[in-house]
Structure 1
Amino acid sequence: MVPESQEALCRQPPLEWWQQEVFLRGFEKLSEFSNVDIVLVEPQGAHNMGSCARVLKNTGFENLVLVNPADFRNDDAYSMACKAKDLLLRARVCRDIDEALEGVKLVAGTTRRKGKFREPLLTMEEALPLIYDVSRRNRVAVLFGREDRGLENPVLSRCDILFEIPSDEAYPSLNLSHAVMVVCHNLFMMSGKKAEHRIVACPKEDVERMYEHLERVLRLLGYGDPDRRGEFLLESVMRNFRKLFGRTSLMKKEVNMIRGILTRIERKFQEEG
């Protein structure tokens, strides 16, 4: 029997017309994490729920489950969710953990505390590959506890595995949305999603022409003067420039910028005759 006060927390006002449009836009596509439920157990802060919705959308997740939550259909939550309002508005609201875990094959709980109800406690590196592999063909739930005291023993007893998120011992407790981000982002990276490579290296021929141009200008500046062992100095400087620029994988616009500066130096010498 759910206490009346908790029932009140679970009741949410009906969606406004604009909320319904945002809600429906969220069904346009399914992600590869459609089998993973991110379950917040009794979350207290609307801002945290909004932030978690944004985290899910950032990392390709779509199933936010709220167990006995505080009110979240308000400006505090919307402002933190930003463009993830659709995901927040279609969050599945459950009265208790039993309802939240219907149809789930693997339940993983997060905890920072240790004790007899929290053993065996896996590392995140041990738990996440298991979560990812099982979710390929089965429904998985990852549980996060309320902000002030985490997951309590009755909920912990429903978990198949427990794992901790590494943090500094001086202050190990993470903000709820931060904990969700760490877990979701690591699962996201396991899926092979990587940032698009935007650095296109300049063709080698153009880089070599830049080095030839650089050597010409250095000779104008007095490097290579045979009276002062200049050739040795010039070779040393050019060798160091090649190492310096070689580490940076110069782009075309950077090579053009360097050659533009070298051209200005040459013109200055010509003007001064």
Structure 2
Amino acid sequence: MLQGMRLTADKEHIAVVLNRPKYAGNIGSAARCAKNMGVERLMVVSDRDYPQEEIRQMSTHLAADVVDSIVYCRDLGEALSGFHYVVGTTARLGLARGPVMSPRDMAEQVVELSRKNDVALLFGPEDTGLTNEDLRYCQSVVSIPTSERFRSLNLSHAVMILCYEISMAEIGVPERFTPKMASSRETEGMYGHIGALLQEIGFLNPENPEYWMMHIRRLFSRMRLSAREVRIIRGICRQLSWYLHHRG
């Protein structure tokens, strides 16, 4: 590639993931908004069966192909397991939610990462949004600025804003090679290994083990670990655990 060439996001590697949406019509509206911006992968995580006619009415016939290819999952961890980078969305801020970025800053990251990695844009239920437990799967968290007088944002509007920013974003060709990251399935296995080892040595408070694990997750999420690096970390955990049980 030539120096100074501009890159845009590879939208085939980007998916909108709706976690426990309340209304079938909002699924259709989200499909339409995503399709408007060139994002055509949509997943829905829920144990409900949504009326397909309501979804199709709100998506219009132009986004029928997106609706037809919706992937339905009952478990969030399962739905995200194949993604390498997950962007969570939140309107509520606070220490437990972690540092948040703007949609524009998020979009610049996604441009780079989507060249080699599958990226999920994760949205929560219309009334409550994503929980802290949901956000633990996310490598970054984005918040859409709104008026202090009226902060409520329709689900499909939030989908449109994030997809629009990604559609408009571009970056210069990075000089460094952008590696493929470990999948969510691989990193979740690593966190399970780390958590078990830290509990074994008494580092984690058994009454609230997720407190320090939340910070550990944030630390590793900034490193963009590869699958090989995850395997190395898990190997270290296994060796340390073996030593704890076999030391004289």
Q: Normalising to structure 1: TM-score of the pair?
A: 0.56
What SS class does the counterpart of residue 121 from structure 1 fall into?
A: coil
Larger radius of gyration: 1
Hey, what's the Cα distance between the residues in 1 that align with 2:54 and 2:132? 30
Number of residue equivalences: 162
Task: In structure 2, list runs of 5 or more residues that go unmatched.
Answer: 1-8, 172-248
Letter in 1 for 2:76: I
Residue 166 of structure 1 aligns to a residue in which SS?
A: coil
Per the alignment, residue 109 of structure 2 pairs with 130
Which amino acid in the other structure matches residue 126 of structure 2? E
Separation in 1, partners of 2:152, 2:110: 22
Query: Which contiguous aligned blocks of 4+ residues in structure 1 show a shift greater than 3 angstroms?
Result: 69-73
Aligned position for 2:30: 52
* Structure 1 residue 132: Cα displacement: 2.0
**Matches of 2:102 and 2:166, distance apart in 1:** 14
Compare relative contact order (CA 8 Å, sep 6+) and give the higher one, 1 or 2.
2
Name the counterpart of 2:19: 41
2:135: which partner in 1? 156
Report what 2:72 is aligned to: 93
| Cα distance in structure 1, aligned partners of 2:129 and 2:145 | 15
Aligned to 2:221: none
CA deviation profile, 1:86-132 (whole Å, cap 9, x unmatched): 21121111111111112211111010101122111112222221122
1:76 and 2:54 correspond: yes
Percentage identity across aligned positions? Answer: 39
Q: 1:191: how far off?
A: 5.5
Shift of 1:139: 0.8
- Kindly state the Cα deviation for residue 32 of structure 1 after the two structures are TM-superposed: 3.6
For 1:176 and 1:69, locate their aligned partners in 2 and report how far apart those are by CA, in whole Å.
19
Supply the RMSD in Å over aligned alpha carbons: 1.7
When the two structures are superposed, what TM-score results if normalisation uses the length of structure 2? 0.62
Q: What is the CA–CA distance in structure 2 between the aligned matches of 1:36 and 1:47, rounded to whole Å?
A: 22
Cα shift readout 1:132-191 (whole Å, capped 9, x = no counterpart):
211111111111110010001111111111110111111112100000000111111226
Give structure 1 stretches of 5+ with no counterpart.
Answer: 1-30, 193-273
In structure 2, C-alpha distance between the alignment counterparts of 1:128 and 1:117, rounded to whole Å: 23
Q: Is the 8 A contact 1:43 1:70 kept in 2?
A: no
Task: Describe the SS at the equivalent of 1:75.
Answer: helix
